[in-house]
Chain A
Amino acid sequence: MNWTLALPEIILSLSSLGIISYGAVQKRENPFFICSTFSIAALIAVSFLIMTGSNGLGFNNLFISDEFSRFMKLLILVAALLTIILSLDFNIKASSNSFEFTALLLFSTTGAMIMVSSNNLMTLYLGLELSSLPLYILCAFDRDNVFSSEAGIKYFILGSVASTIILYGLSLIYGFSGGLGYEHVHLAFASPNPIPPGLSFGLIFILVGLCFKISAAPFHMWTPDVYQGAPTSVSMYLSTVPKFAAFALFMRLIMGPFGNISFQWQLLIEIIAILSIIVGSVGAIVQTNIKRMMAYSSISHMGYTLVGLAAATTEGVLGSLIYLTVYLFMNIGTFAVIAAMTRKGLIVENVKDLSGLGKTNPGIAAAMAIFMFSMAGAPPLAGFFGKFMVFWAAISAHLYILTIIGILASAISAYIYLRIIKIMYFNTLIQPLDPQPLSLSLITFSMGTVTIIFLLFMSPIVHISKIAAQSLF
């Protein structure tokens, strides 16, 4: 019983329980700040635990800890940490500064980490639900805002549909293979006999459910509405942590239990990748709300990440991991800029509100320009290397059509990002935005720096990602 492998998850869930208890019994006016500080400390501690963690299976093979899971967990923790730092100032503005926020965030993070470490279909489902349920509440956290409530409900209902689809897939696989453990499923798919269609159906149901989680087209419909409605800090969390967790599951499943039948899912992933890239790039063109635009942008980014997966090789997984890493930095940076968009104390979210930012707030405009260029894939910024790695993997795997469509679509997506830059620097100023609080400046600055100098520490990141990718095979 190697329970220490799950120590990070245990600590995180205990912390959130502690926060809830403390929040219930304390006498202060609002314990939001102290709870946030505590959770930041918990997240940092857990990150260190993970960095020093060891490999192994625990809880009767229900739980796995390997280089891959630790890499993904670190990404998740960094995203969660930055979300809490951002929410320190932002949630006060968005009147979402109750202590439950941090507790729910930690629960969701724990669920995401369990997803990453699952080695059994049951653990998978458990983690999935644990990460999703708090998110439904978080989306509706700004209760007075009708859009926020709508977002919560929408995400809840559609998420439930996706959950049932996954559950149905799980039951199909269990029924046809007779087991829930990944190694069991792996054996079932490896048998020389023709694979029973029920197993393949189960595989597809699970993949579709996960595609919903990462908001890949055509399962993306919820994304723009939810991103727009939810508080910006939650949108930022939504665009990173659940996606990383679902991607980790995706990779683990298709490389592990479904690894023997890559010919069965490769085409599906190609189709989904192409659809996501196109829908994301094209859909973003006409958006006037910047959060909606970012929702479409994240759809297309997920499409690019899927390109790496479609290659079904170590290089492909490596490319996807690098892409996700890069996506983390530039996405959080962009959301920090969006969170900084307030005018006379009111939150503004239209693309037009950025007009003239280059003059009124050159620092934040420069950071935003860097993120936009990076997302468009302009070298030598981080986004270029992400795209380069996944396309390189796709070309190595002879997926030429996918690559060509991907590159053409990235030309389209360049339009949406350059439009933001144009608005910031060339449109005339309407009214200046309020000066942004310290925590946002900190995140924007650090993310901008990372995006610029990514080239410098690229080789260690590639090295670590490579180890992570290889541990899957």
Chain B
Amino acid sequence: MQPMDSSFLIVTLFSPLFGSCSSGLLGKMLGDRFAKSVSILGMILSLAASWYIMGHIVYSGPQDKLVPIATWISSSTFNISWDLRLDTLSVSMATIVTSISFLVHIYSIGYMSREEMPTYRFFSYLSLFTFSMLLLVTSCNLVGLYCGWEAVGLSSYLLIGYWYTKPAAVAAAIKAFVVNRIADLFFLIGISLLFILSGSVYFSDIFQRAPELLRTHYDFIGYDFKACEMISFLLFVGAMGKSAQLFFHVWLPDAMEGPTPVSALIHAATMVTAGVFLMARMSPILEIAYYTRALILIIGSITAFFAASVALTQTDIKKSIAYSTCSQLGYMFVAIGCGAYQIALFHLTTHAFFKALLFLGAGSVIHALHNEQDMFKMGGLAKKLPFTCVVMWIGSLALAGIFPFAGYWSKDAIMKSAWMYNSNCSYFAWVITSLTAFLTALYSWRLLFLVFHAPSKNQALTSKAKESPSVMINPMGVLALGSVCSGFILSSYYIGSKHTHFWGSSIFTGTNNHILSLIHRTPLFIAQTPSILAILGILVAYICYVRFPILPTKLANSFSGPYRFLINAWYFDRLYQIIFIKPYHILSKILWNIGEKEIIEGAPLIIADFTQRSAKTISRTQNGSFALYALTLVIGLVIILTTFLIYH
């Protein structure tokens, strides 16, 4: 069975690439129908292969092996071959990626059907995105992972800017790319530092030498840091970029400029989860980096709260869900900070289902309303889009963490671990995330009520709305099923009794780390708080948006300061504008005017000008006069004689 697994992993990885290349290169010639078929075919192959390996792991136990593909770099001490790592972590990620991506591909057929331009480009990019993410999760060394990491950045750029005639989309694509590049720089430095200190970029080597890294110190600008803290901090900054944590989150809401299926893919499977995956992958190093984990805990919880608070005031349906993702990623990082990597991955998995569902639902609404995204123009759509309404309810229930939906299992586990981790930071995180749980329910039902149940504000728009075609509805149905069931089905494997058997050696847990067993001893009151707060949030949303719809406006008017603070997303964009972008523009202008125009362009122009003038001088001396020619000859002779006499 073993070699079968290897070849199946290769199929999983490469069939999306095949689909992407075929649809991208031949799509123009052979048409959209071909492009769609071939990229979906690639996804079906990839999906089947990944589920096969997953099933194999579930039934016959964890694996840990390398699948060699090719030698890549071979240079004295720096040797990298392109191998795939087959273990539970990579396979579980691959399974999520292929599943979500497959459903998004199917959904896109319906969603993109109104495009005037051919859509083969879109399907090619989608498959490329999937391939990039698979490359990232299956790599057995950090350099390969980094390649996948960058490929994900590239494909997200291509997809966010898919409607390249829209200036906002182009700007958003550039923003996503640049913000990620900044974080990637830290990641790259982290990889380099790791290579310098441990001499390898292979996970297996690094993990063996992790205890040494605890003892190694690294001197940075006069301060002495533990090597493991330094490295994990750098890697965490990289993860912050991809996973849109506070300070690096600014690209995420803007990325909503892309087509909605892309948002679903980015938010559920292929991009923002990369950071969480990286942290889980590097668990042996994070386990010994206590301070960095504390930092992760704080950043994660603040991100969760920040994003939830901003989501409260958004009017755009997609932006509201986008901030919700940001907030949920914060939860995952809280789990990482507590050393509960399995819980983080569990939440990642359940979140993938309900967040993809919410986005596809939102997409269905947008599709029905012909690209209207403002929630305050919608209303009363429950009757027009009954199926969408139901799945959105399911998604929101899962998001809010209501029993027995998926989110309940994972999110509660995170909050329990934050409580039981038993440190100042983790209590802080627990308080913050509990508040966030309330806010999460509030903004989710605000969305639901505004879109589906409040009276319609724009009859002309909403009356013509029609339920989406079945090609869009079916994927949502599958995701709704996942949002309901994935929690209690996977709970025992991911974090419950079977977790050691399930994860095998793919996630490292230190000898003092008993968080997974501790969470079962959480006090009942603490364990129930999130659910109670969530239900409270739903009630508040009901009061504000159904019973007394005037209330939110009144609140916004009377607390205009805090309201503006929230609706401007804590003024991060404006702050960055002042701190980074403006000085950067000024610097660029200086470099352009002085460096580029004066020096780089100017110097050759001066030289050329000088050459031209000397050429004219030379041809002027050539006036045809014998006397002058003979004189030059003699002068030359004299000069050469003189030079000779001087030097000898």
Interface range on chain A (Cβ under 8 Å from partner): 20 to 34
Nearest chain A CB to B475 CB, angstrom units: 57
> Are A267 and B647 in touch, CB under 8 angstroms?
yes
The answer, yes or no, to whether B204 is at the interface (CB within 8 Å) is no
In the complex, per-residue mask of A161-185: 1 if CB is within 8 Å of any chain B CB, else 0: 1100100000000000000000000
> Are A282 and B622 in touch, CB under 8 angstroms?
no
In the complex, per-residue mask of B364-402: 1 if CB is within 8 Å of any chain A CB, else 0: 000000000000000000000000000000000000000
Nearest chain B CB to A190 CB, angstrom units: 17
Give every chain B residue within 8 A of A161 (Cβ-Cβ): 630, 633-634
Pick from A204, A221, A264, A272: contact of B628, CB under 8 Å: A221
Q: Chain A CB within 10 Å — which of B629, B633, B647 has the most? A: B633
Nearest chain B CB to A419 CB, angstrom units: 12
In the complex, per-residue mask of A262-273: 1 if CB is within 8 Å of any chain B CB, else 0: 001001100110
> Are B618 and A208 in touch, CB under 8 angstroms?
no
A445 to B615, CA, bound (A): 33
Flag the segment in B207-215, B346-354, B430-438, B638-646 that touches A: B638-646
The answer, yes or no, to whether A154 is at the interface (CB within 8 Å) is yes
The answer, yes or no, to whether A374 is at the interface (CB within 8 Å) is no
Nearest chain A CB to B205 CB, angstrom units: 44
The answer, yes or no, to whether A453 is at the interface (CB within 8 Å) is no
A219 to B236, CA, bound (A): 72
Flag the segment in A23-31, A93-101, A283-291, A423-431 that touches B: A283-291
A283 to B616, CA, bound (A): 7
Give every chain A residue within 8 A of B616 (Cβ-Cβ): 286
> Are B636 and A218 in touch, CB under 8 angstroms?
yes
The answer, yes or no, to whether B220 is at the interface (CB within 8 Å) is no
> Are B611 and A282 in touch, CB under 8 angstroms?
yes
Give every chain A residue within 8 A of B621 (Cβ-Cβ): 221
A268 to B647, CA, bound (A): 10
Give every chain A residue within 8 A of B628 (Cβ-Cβ): 221
The answer, yes or no, to whether B619 is at the interface (CB within 8 Å) is yes
The answer, yes or no, to whether A157 is at the interface (CB within 8 Å) is yes
A272 closest partner in B (C-beta) = B640
Give every chain B residue within 8 A of A268 (Cβ-Cβ): 640, 643-644
Give every chain A residue within 8 A of B634 (Cβ-Cβ): 161
A254 to B643, CA, bound (A): 18
Nearest chain A CB to B58 CB, angstrom units: 61
Give every chain B residue within 8 A of A283 (Cβ-Cβ): 615, 618-619, 622
> Are A218 and B632 in touch, CB under 8 angstroms?
yes
Nearest chain B CB to A457 CB, angstrom units: 36
The answer, yes or no, to whether B577 is at the interface (CB within 8 Å) is no
In the complex, per-residue mask of B188-215: 1 if CB is within 8 Å of any chain A CB, else 0: 0000000000000000000000000000
Give every chain B residue within 8 A of A219 (Cβ-Cβ): 632-633, 636
> Are A165 and B632 in touch, CB under 8 angstroms?
no
> Are A201 and B641 in touch, CB under 8 angstroms?
yes
The answer, yes or no, to whether A152 is at the interface (CB within 8 Å) is no
> Are B644 and A286 in touch, CB under 8 angstroms?
no
> Are A158 and B626 in touch, CB under 8 angstroms?
yes
Total interface residues in chain B, CB < 8 Å? 27
A195 closest partner in B (C-beta) = B648
Nearest chain B CB to A229 CB, angstrom units: 10
The answer, yes or no, to whether A89 is at the interface (CB within 8 Å) is no
The answer, yes or no, to whether A46 is at the interface (CB within 8 Å) is no
A271 to B641, CA, bound (A): 12
A287 closest partner in B (C-beta) = B619
In B594-648, the 8 Å CB interface with A consists of 611-612, 614-616, 618-619, 621-622, 624, 626, 628-630, 632-637, 639-641, 643-644, 647-648
> Are B644 and A158 in touch, CB under 8 angstroms?
no
Pick from A158, A200, A208, A279: contact of B630, CB under 8 Å: A158
A158 to B634, CA, bound (A): 11
The answer, yes or no, to whether A224 is at the interface (CB within 8 Å) is yes
Nearest chain A CB to B640 CB, angstrom units: 6
> Are B618 and A279 in touch, CB under 8 angstroms?
yes
A225 to B644, CA, bound (A): 30
A271 to B639, CA, bound (A): 11
Nearest chain B CB to A295 CB, angstrom units: 10
> Are A282 and B626 in touch, CB under 8 angstroms?
no
A267 to B643, CA, bound (A): 9
The answer, yes or no, to whether A348 is at the interface (CB within 8 Å) is no
Q: Chain A CB within 10 Å — which of B622, B624, B639 has the most? A: B622
A345 to B239, CA, bound (A): 78
Nearest chain A CB to B363 CB, angstrom units: 53
> Are B629 and A222 in touch, CB under 8 angstroms?
yes
The answer, yes or no, to whether A189 is at the interface (CB within 8 Å) is no
A264 to B647, CA, bound (A): 9
A222 to B629, CA, bound (A): 7
In A178-209, the 8 Å CB interface with B consists of 200-201, 204-205, 208
> Are B615 and A208 in touch, CB under 8 angstroms?
no
Nearest chain A CB to B621 CB, angstrom units: 8
> Are B633 and A162 in touch, CB under 8 angstroms?
yes
Give every chain B residue within 8 A of A366 (Cβ-Cβ): none
A217 to B622, CA, bound (A): 13
> Are B635 and A218 in touch, CB under 8 angstroms?
yes
Nearest chain B CB to A166 CB, angstrom units: 11
> Are A157 and B630 in touch, CB under 8 angstroms?
yes
Give every chain A residue within 8 A of B640 (Cβ-Cβ): 204, 208, 268, 271-272
A193 to B448, CA, bound (A): 109
Give every chain A residue within 8 A of B639 (Cβ-Cβ): 218
Give every chain A residue within 8 A of B633 (Cβ-Cβ): 158, 161-162, 165, 212, 218-219, 221
A219 to B647, CA, bound (A): 21
Nearest chain B CB to A152 CB, angstrom units: 13
A272 to B639, CA, bound (A): 11
Nearest chain B CB to A424 CB, angstrom units: 21
A296 closest partner in B (C-beta) = B618
The answer, yes or no, to whether A452 is at the interface (CB within 8 Å) is no
A283 to B136, CA, bound (A): 60
Give every chain A residue within 8 A of B624 (Cβ-Cβ): 150, 225
A275 closest partner in B (C-beta) = B636
Given A222-B629, A225-B624, A286-B616, the answer on whether A208 and B636 have CB atoms closer than 8 Å is: yes
A161 to B611, CA, bound (A): 31
Nearest chain B CB to A210 CB, angstrom units: 12
Give every chain B residue within 8 A of A222 (Cβ-Cβ): 629
B624 closest partner in A (C-beta) = A225
Q: Provide 19 A-B residue pairs closer than 8 Å at the C-beta atoms, listed in order of the A residue.
A: A150-B624, A201-B641, A217-B636, A218-B632, A218-B639, A221-B629, A224-B622, A225-B624, A264-B648, A267-B647, A268-B644, A272-B640, A279-B618, A282-B615, A282-B618, A283-B618, A283-B619, A285-B615, A287-B619
Which 9 pairs, one residue from A and one from B, show the smallest C-beta to C-beta distance? A218-B636, A285-B615, A221-B629, A283-B618, A286-B615, A282-B615, A208-B637, A221-B632, A282-B614
